[in-house]
Chains A and B, each alone.
Chain A
Amino acid sequence: MAEQAFIVVEHLYKQYETAAGPVPVLKDVNLRIEAREFMALMGPSGSGKSTFMNILGCLDLPTGGSYVLNGQDVGKLGKDRLAHLRNEVIGFVFQGFNLLPRANLLDNVALPLVYCRVAKDERVRRAGEMLEKVGLGGYGNSMPNRISGGQQQRVAIARALVNRPRLILADEPTGNLDTKTSAEIMNIFARLNAEEGITIVLVTHEPDIAAYAKRLVRFVDGRVTHDGAVLREVMMDEQP
Chain B
Amino acid sequence: MIAPMLREAWYAMRANRLRTFLTMLGMMIGVGAVVLMTAIGQGAQFVVDQSIASMGSNLFIVLSGSTTSGGVRTGSGAVPTLTMADAEAIAGLPAISAVAPNQPGTAQVVYGPNNWSTRVTGTTPSYLEVRDWSLSAGYPFTDSDVRFATRVALLGQTVVRNLFGDEDPVGKTIRIQQSPFVVVGVLAAKGQSLNGQDQDDTILIPITTAQRKVFGSQFPGTVRFIMAQATSPQSMPAAQQEMTQLLRQRHHIRAGADSDFDIRNLTAVANTAAETSRVMTLMLGAIASISLLVGGIGIMNIMLVSVTERTREIGIRVAIGARERDIRLQFLLEAIIISVSGCFIGVLIGVGGAVLANLVAQMAVVITGASILLAFLVAAGVGVFFGFYPANKAARLSPIEALRYQ
Contact = CB atoms under 8 A, between A and B. Distances in A.
A83 B312 contact: no
A79 B321 contact: no
A86 B320 contact: yes
Interface string B256-285: 000000000000000000000000000000
A178 to B, nearest CB: 23
Interface stretch (A3-11, A54-62, A146-154, A208-216): A54-62
B321 A112 contact: yes
Interface string B316-352: 1111111110100000000000000000000000000
Given A59-B400, A103-B11, A86 B319 contact: yes
Contact of B321 (A54, A88, A94, A100): A88
Nearest to B324: A79
A58 B15 CA distance: 32
A111 interface: yes
B109 to A, nearest CB: 77
B49 interface: no
Given A59-B400, A100-B313, A83 B322 contact: yes
Contacts of B4: 107, 114, 120
Contact of B323 (A59, A79, A120, A159): A79
A114 B317 CA distance: 10
B400 A115 contact: no
Interface residues of B, number: 25
B317 A102 contact: no
Given A54-B400, A114-B1, A115-B326, A159 B320 contact: yes
A94 B400 contact: no
B398 to A, nearest CB: 8
A219 B163 CA distance: 108
Interface in A65-107: 79-80, 83-84, 86-88, 92, 94, 98-103, 107
B289 to A, nearest CB: 35
Contact of A111 (B3, B312, B320): B320
Interface in B1-24: 1, 3-5, 7-8, 11-12, 15
B399 interface: yes
A140 to B, nearest CB: 15
A60 B400 contact: yes
A24 to B, nearest CB: 17
B403 interface: yes
Contact of A102 (B1, B11, B400): B11
A94 B402 CA distance: 13
B323 A103 contact: no
A102 B12 contact: yes
A60 B400 CA distance: 7
A112 B326 CA distance: 12
**Size band of the A side of the interface?**
20 to 34
Contacts of B324: 79-80, 83
A92 B3 contact: no
A54 to B, nearest CB: 5
Interface string A94-137: 10001111110001000110111100100000000000000000
A98 B402 CA distance: 12
Contacts of A114: 1, 4-5
A111 B317 contact: yes
A86 B318 contact: yes
Residue of B7, B313, B323 ringed by the most chain A CB atoms within 10 A: B323
Contacts of A57: 319
Contacts of A94: 403
A46 to B, nearest CB: 14
Given A54-B400, A80-B323, A98-B312, A59 B1 contact: no
Given A54-B400, A100-B313, A83 B12 contact: no
A143 B331 CA distance: 23
A84 B321 contact: yes
A54 B318 CA distance: 12
B316 A100 contact: yes
11 contacts: A57-B319, A83-B322, A83-B324, A87-B320, A92-B320, A98-B312, A99-B316, A100-B313, A103-B8, A103-B11, A160-B320
Interface of B: 1, 3-5, 7-8, 11-12, 15, 312-313, 315-324, 326, 399-400, 403
Closest 7 CB pairs of A and B: A87-B321, A83-B323, A102-B11, A115-B321, A59-B399, A112-B320, A86-B321
